Structure 1
């Protein structure tokens, strides 16, 4: 009970979270302001792109960013709306309306919170790297394509106007493009993109996205343009309120909420893990991180926001800007709150096309060419898992993509593992004895798992012309229930043919499995298990001598 209580306390905020604050606070303040500036256009863009509103994106960045900073398991994680959430939310908005987003945010937050309480934080380590990168590539493609409706028409892609599939929606938007409007919007997006590319080359600390927004907004205010704008934003945070939790709505949103919860967990844990590898940012607690992200999404939903996750790009900016404690993420949220309280008027004048340009550049930057090249050139299975995951992400569903990718990589990995399983016949060491040709020593190497069981059974039971078989199992690295079962079947098959089976070198970790599955009980005698090979050979020779003696007596009897 006391141990469970201690583990529960470890998931909650404590003064220990800020023990290094006296040393890091200056860097945290600078990093927090920097990330806040970087996060502003992204929050607005993801809010619009998801089909909700710029306000919802900003609210999510403020509320979820603050809550995740306090309750999360990473010292430097920055949370808010992300591209993965946009990809899932757009079809939900199209089918159930904007009001469903707050509901699904709370439901997904509860699911992630429960996952943290159940200590499922380490589960992300089971997702192979090529699958993660394929998933990221697919999301990047979707985010890029989702901006085309925004840039080809003065109206954003309203719910139900286009297909929920990004490729189909992009084709539809091009076919229905307003070519009197498109040159203005595409030009605006191009200017923002160019500034985002050039600004860091002038100085790494220049916030290209913010500069781009300011430039095109000022130009659009001076020059008469048909560009659609963000529109009026509230000058305060909305009051918290329970979303629509009618049973009939909740029942239809459970599966989308679970999808969002899985995405939030995966992306947040990956972001926290990446952050821990960037610099000396201290350890992170994956279970507490899930709990914190769950609280963040619930809080965001109560304020009318979207589901939140840890954001890899913003977290990386935080670390590289000197953020080392939770204060940096808290300051980032306060900076965005200041925008709402002080600068909501100027932000309302920002052209929507500028946000499209920012998200297009963000999507391109999500894909690292060197990473793609290294995966494609690695193994066939990893390359297949990467490509298939990316294709399924774009064409079908994000969670299905992850599952399919894991399945492809897993099946090929098991296949390769099964190929490493070998059965080799060895010669008898030392001075030869009469009848030694009637003794076979078979050495098992590698893992003995279900995928290799049939091949191993056929290899061993095909042996002929022997009276004793010694199975050397000390080199087996891994044995599952199927592998142990095939050993049982091998012993029984050989014994039925009158061949005595001896087993040498049962590992301590395998003995319990061998007993429970019946490997040892299938032997002719309980003394047919040996620790050393010389003892097993000596016992085998005694069997051969008795066999020869019986044969000689039989011959004399016939005479």
Structure 2
């Protein structure tokens, strides 16, 4: 019976003896994760090309919806660094409104994937592909933050190579105070975790940067431009109210298609726009599915639990359907925040809901303080995020130790992500990995003639009988090579027995190849006995017209029975019937 996989993680948590002590642990974990999510959400929204409050809206709305409706107890959902590379071009071409519509479309795809039982999608994406495109994304994110880190206005926008070239061309215009604030924030982000305190490093790093920026702008102002902060770079308007920085108000309902496009005008939704956004929306959905399911698998490994993969896809899809109606951008489960949740003692989705409430409280109560955060400090935070995301040690280890084929897939995926496009990288990388897998499987499949063949009981087989042992799956890349041996048999052989106990599957190409072998045997007057095939493959062969015919073709369960059939056929001294083996003979 069909059932919608909703609220599966929440229901499982409540059934698992959930009590007041678990509520307390979830609350403490949610507070910790919320403190981490506030600066990250703003930084990722800015990196995407939208005002910082939209990242906070995402953490609040999508974080709560995905936690309650999803299939993982520990996943914490919000804006993530992996999406920056996809979302930035959408914002540049279609504006905030186009991004939210693409997010809605991606949400629909994710819900469809979950309802369609595609929750095991992550199993079909090879590790070199995941590592290659995540490392490539990390490099792109870090490179795009360099202008903001050193205070270059207007430099660094666009494609990676163009951004780097533009940054180098404007290096003489760097802002020393901005660079100093960025370096101070980066140092705090890197050194604070060594103190092993419960206060999150992003909070300390951005607080140190904000203090340094305030000193640079008010106590020791220089002759140059002031250090850019969120308040100096962004303005907001809600109804009749307006201000700078982050609005001190919760997210309110909004129609995504009423928001401005790239030209600042209200977006015109038509078939052309939907067609333009279809590709990016599919890429968003696929990346969201991969990242969320990968995050769920990692969380299961850390907690020895099991997630509902289909339920997680439905939950992420609903989060991306609801968030745009409150100004939220694309969301997915975030590995760093999920790991923080687990290490902080989170026990259920209530921790992720608490995290969303903490972000909401911070936005309403601390908006003026959030406006003091310097842009270079946010760039420093994204440097750290990019480094952690890159998995540089695993990347280098894979280059050194993996087989050459896997290394080629990794390098190709990394290079295409950095220099071309992430969607192309994943598609090409998965294709290369698939081709590599097919080649490896084809090498495992082979057919060998057995010398001095004997039956199951050890009885020697007739001298005029040849036995071939086929091992491995027979499919399009292996069937021709494996069965080619059967075309080269001795002239005095009257019966060929093919031991197929170790053949787990056959595809259409293998069936056609086997039919060619049967036809070749008939022309030589040689009978063929297939041994050890499972009933499902025999049924498949019969449907393809390859049926039992006395003296021509039959199926046997073991070598003893095949040897007896060979003796009977040869002892009767009758030539094999050269009528087609795929005729209307009585089936087995």
State whether TM-score is above 0.5.
yes
Q: Which residue of 2 aligns with 1:241?
A: 254
Q: Is the 8 A contact 1:485 1:518 kept in 2?
A: no
Q: Which residue of 1 aligns with 2:585?
A: none
Q: Which residue of 2 aligns with 1:488?
A: 515
* Residue pairs, 1:126-205, within 5 angstroms: 126-155=124-153, 162-163=157-158, 165-177=159-171, 179-181=173-175, 183-205=176-198
Deviation at 1:204, TM superposition (A): 5.0
Q: Is the 8 A contact 2:9 2:349 kept in 1?
A: no
Q: Which residue of 2 aligns with 1:556?
A: none
Q: Which residue of 2 aligns with 1:442?
A: 468
Q: Which residue of 2 aligns with 1:457?
A: 483
Distance (whole Å) between structure 2 residues aligned to residue 448 and residue 81 of structure 1: 45
Deviation at 1:502, TM superposition (A): 1.7
Q: Is the 8 A contact 2:185 2:377 kept in 1?
A: yes
Q: Is the 8 A contact 1:188 1:353 kept in 2?
A: yes
Q: Which residue of 2 aligns with 1:230?
A: 230
| Distance of aligned partners of 1:462 and 1:251 in 2 relative to their CA distance in 1, 3 Å threshold | same
Distance (whole Å) between structure 1 residues aligned to residue 252 and residue 116 of structure 2: 31
Q: Which residue of 2 aligns with 1:553?
A: none
Q: Which residue of 1 aligns with 2:108?
A: 110
* Greater mean alpha carbon deviation, residues 241-250 or residues 525-534: 525-534
Q: Is the 8 A contact 1:485 1:519 kept in 2?
A: no
Matched, 1:209 2:202: yes
Deviation at 1:46, TM superposition (A): 0.3
Distance (whole Å) between structure 2 residues aligned to residue 16 and residue 82 of structure 1: 26
Q: Which residue of 2 aligns with 1:530?
A: 556
Deviation at 1:381, TM superposition (A): 2.2
Residues 216-242 of structure 1, C-alpha deviation per residue, up to 9 Å, x if partnerless?
Answer: 211111223622111221000242111
Deviation at 1:111, TM superposition (A): 2.0
Q: Which residue of 1 aligns with 2:211?
A: 218
Distance (whole Å) between structure 2 residues aligned to residue 549 and residue 298 of structure 1: 71
Q: Is the 8 A contact 2:27 2:351 kept in 1?
A: yes
Unpaired runs of 5+ residues, structure 2, are 232-244, 258-267, 577-588
Matched, 1:321 2:344: yes
Distance (whole Å) between structure 2 residues aligned to residue 416 and residue 347 of structure 1: 54
Q: Which residue of 2 aligns with 1:540?
A: 566
Distance (whole Å) between structure 2 residues aligned to residue 256 and residue 469 of structure 1: 56
Distance (whole Å) between structure 2 residues aligned to residue 463 and residue 186 of structure 1: 78
Q: Which residue of 1 aligns with 2:119?
A: 121
Q: Is the 8 A contact 1:453 1:483 kept in 2?
A: yes
| Distance of aligned partners of 1:525 and 1:367 in 2 relative to their CA distance in 1, 3 Å threshold | same
| Distance of aligned partners of 1:325 and 1:495 in 2 relative to their CA distance in 1, 3 Å threshold | same
| Distance of aligned partners of 1:73 and 1:549 in 2 relative to their CA distance in 1, 3 Å threshold | closer
Pick aligned residue for 1:252 from 266, 276, 297: 276
* Residue pairs, 1:49-448, within 5 angstroms: 49-155=47-153, 162-163=157-158, 165-177=159-171, 179-181=173-175, 183-224=176-217, 226-231=226-231, 232-244=245-257, 246-247=269-270, 248-280=272-304, 282-376=305-399, 377-426=401-450, 427-429=452-454, 436-448=462-474
Distance (whole Å) between structure 1 residues aligned to residue 256 and residue 166 of structure 2: 33
Q: Is the 8 A contact 1:384 1:409 kept in 2?
A: no
Matched residue of 2:96: which SS? coil
Q: Is the 8 A contact 1:155 1:228 kept in 2?
A: no
Distance (whole Å) between structure 1 residues aligned to residue 58 and residue 566 of structure 2: 74
Unpaired runs of 5+ residues, structure 1, are 551-559
Residues 91-116 of structure 1, C-alpha deviation per residue, up to 9 Å, x if partnerless?
Answer: 11111223322222222222222222
Matched, 1:475 2:477: no
Distance (whole Å) between structure 2 residues aligned to residue 385 and residue 422 of structure 1: 26
Deviation at 1:44, TM superposition (A): 1.0
Q: Report the structure, 1 or 2, having the larger helix content.
A: 1
Q: Is the 8 A contact 1:11 1:291 kept in 2?
A: no
Matched residue of 1:451: which SS? coil
Distance (whole Å) between structure 1 residues aligned to residue 49 and residue 311 of structure 2: 31
| Distance of aligned partners of 1:152 and 1:219 in 2 relative to their CA distance in 1, 3 Å threshold | closer
Q: Is the 8 A contact 1:473 1:503 kept in 2?
A: yes
Distance (whole Å) between structure 2 residues aligned to residue 154 and residue 333 of structure 1: 34
Q: Is the 8 A contact 1:106 1:302 kept in 2?
A: no
Q: Is the 8 A contact 2:76 2:352 kept in 1?
A: yes
Residues 57-99 of structure 1, C-alpha deviation per residue, up to 9 Å, x if partnerless?
Answer: 1111111111111111111110000012211111111112233
Q: Which residue of 2 aligns with 1:8?
A: 4
Q: Is the 8 A contact 1:77 1:310 kept in 2?
A: yes
Deviation at 1:491, TM superposition (A): 1.3
Distance (whole Å) between structure 2 residues aligned to residue 538 and residue 497 of structure 1: 22
Q: Which residue of 1 aligns with 2:240?
A: none
The alignment yields a C-alpha RMSD, in angstroms, of 2.4
Matched residue of 2:467: which SS? strand
Deviation at 1:13, TM superposition (A): 8.0
Residues 401-422 of structure 1, C-alpha deviation per residue, up to 9 Å, x if partnerless?
Answer: 2221121111111111111111
Q: Is the 8 A contact 2:69 2:315 kept in 1?
A: yes
Pick aligned residue for 1:36 from 25, 34, 37: 34
| Distance of aligned partners of 1:544 and 1:213 in 2 relative to their CA distance in 1, 3 Å threshold | same
Q: Which residue of 2 aligns with 1:520?
A: 547
Q: Which residue of 1 aligns with 2:582?
A: none
Distance (whole Å) between structure 1 residues aligned to residue 484 and residue 185 of structure 2: 66
When the two structures are superposed, what TM-score results if normalisation uses the length of structure 1? 0.90
Deviation at 1:437, TM superposition (A): 3.8
Distance (whole Å) between structure 1 residues aligned to residue 292 and residue 101 of structure 2: 21
Residues 421-463 of structure 1, C-alpha deviation per residue, up to 9 Å, x if partnerless?
Answer: 1111112336768xx4432111111221110122123211022
